[in-house]
């Protein structure tokens, strides 16, 4: 018998510390082997920490969604409203800034639930196009986004520490 999937909920300010921990843990698990320790440490210092994630949770132009199992955070997604690269053709773009699932939950339906919740939150906010940047050397994530109808529309630079990496920019209509 299939076990029910953990539900997705909106994060609030109480979640800052655990969100920071999961964000750093999953970033390191995903990219640690392909980057220098110095670049990883610099990136993590400047992007993750209770105060940084608390600021994101308080930002009215961001929404954070969490998936939780038995009190443990196992996945999160963060949406951001604001600018988009020129290659994204939209009147009201919404960015999927981060979407990360703990490794032991890959392939088990958590990421699709988070993605569906992202698209619902985008629709609720009136976004017409969802876009994201994904490292060109992250084939699993690219395949995942393609499954959800995202197509490549351009690229941009995403610095990890001192390394300017090429991110593929992908986009799709929020409502197909």
Interface positions with ligand COA (CB under 6 A): 26, 30, 99-101, 106-107, 111-112, 134, 138-141, 143-144, 147
Q: Give CA–CA dist 48/151, Å, rounded.
A: 29
DSSP H stretches of helix in the chain: 16-31, 37-47, 50-58, 110-124, 139-147
* DSSP secondary structure, 63-85, as one string: EEEEEEETTEEEEEEEEEES---
DSSP tag of 99: E
Q: How far is the CB of 126 from ligand COA (least distance, A)?
A: 24
Q: How far is the CB of 16 from ligand COA (least distance, A)?
A: 20
Smallest Cα–Cα separation from 57: which of 76, 37, 82?
A: 76
- CB closer to ligand COA, 57 vs 102: 102
Q: How far is the CB of 17 from ligand COA (least distance, A)?
A: 20
- CB closer to ligand COA, 14 vs 147: 147
- CB closer to ligand COA, 14 vs 73: 73
- CB closer to ligand COA, 129 vs 170: 170
């Amino acid at each position: 018998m299939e076990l029910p999937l953990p539900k997705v909920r909106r994060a609030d300010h109480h979640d800052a510390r655990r969100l920071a921990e999961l964000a750093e843990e999953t970033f390191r698990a995903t990219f640690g082997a392909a980057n220098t320790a110095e670049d990883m440490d610099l990136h993590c210092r400047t992007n993750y920490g209770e105060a940084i994630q608390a600021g994101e949770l308080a930002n009215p132009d961001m929404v954070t969604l969490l998936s939780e199992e038995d009190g443990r955070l196992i996945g999160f997604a963060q949406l951001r409203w604001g600018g988009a690269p020129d290659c994204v053709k939209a009147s009201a773009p919404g960015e999927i800034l981060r979407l990360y699932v703990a490794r032991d939950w890959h392939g088990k339906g958590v990421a699709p639930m988070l993605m569906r919740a992202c698209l619902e939150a985008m629709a609720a906010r009136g976004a017409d196009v969802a876009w994201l940047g994904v490292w060109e050397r992250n084939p699993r994530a690219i395949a995942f986004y393609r499954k959800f109808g995202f197509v490549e529309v351009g690229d941009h630079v995403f610095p990890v520490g001192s390394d300017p990496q090429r991110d593929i920019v992908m986009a799709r209509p929020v409502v197909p």
